[in-house]
Amino acid sequence: MSGDDLLLDRIGPALSRLRRRTPASGRDLSRNLVLNVVADAPGELTVGGLAAEMGVAQPVASRTVAAGIAEGLLRRAASQADGRRTVLELTERGEAERIRFAAEQREAFEDITAAWSPEDRAQFARLLVRYAADAGAWSRRRKTVEDDESR
């Protein structure tokens, strides 16, 4: 096995360690995930769409949304495309919370990579953002294939 193969085999465990060592509570991570999914949605987002994007069952997404509404982070609104549908939106407080958490994550990233060169730090950031975007597209493609196969 080549050195590159050995390195690639270490990706899964490394990502698992990152998840465990994120400097936040599980509640913060879950809340931040929901806020980012709602903010990043290319169009209107329903609870069902949130569940699909998060990879959870609809009841789990419904409870998460209910908690977000109770905390004043999310609101339900009538769809502009179809008034019969209800979509999710961030409140001002929800956007402020999302920005606060992103600042905490940046601070952690800067602390963790403090000994890195500026070039390495920027390159890793570019590749990590690219990986996240490509992982989202991959996940959506997989879901489409699974949906097609179940019909």
- C-alpha angle 133-124-28 in degrees, rounded to nearest 5: 60
Q: Tokens standing for 112?
A: 């963790």
Q: In angstroms, rounded to a whole number, what is the distance separating the alpha carbons of residues 51 and 65?
A: 10
Give residue for tokens 């980012």: 36
Burial of 104 (0-12, 13-18, 19+ CB in 10 A): middle
Q: What is the model's pLDDT at position 110? A: 94
N- to C-terminal Cα separation, the chain:
41
> What are the Cα distances from residue 140, in Å, to 24, 52, 132, 135, 151?
27, 9, 12, 9, 17
Higher-scoring residue by pLDDT: 55, 123: 123
Q: What is the model's pLDDT at position 127? A: 95
> What is Dmax (Cα atoms) for the chain?
57
Q: In angstroms, rounded to a whole number, what is the distance separating the alpha carbons of residues 60 and 88?
A: 15
pLDDT in tens, 77-86: 999 988 889 9
pLDDT in tens, 94-121: 999 999 999 988 998 999 999 999 999 9
Q: Count CB atoms within 10 A of the CB of residue 140.
A: 12
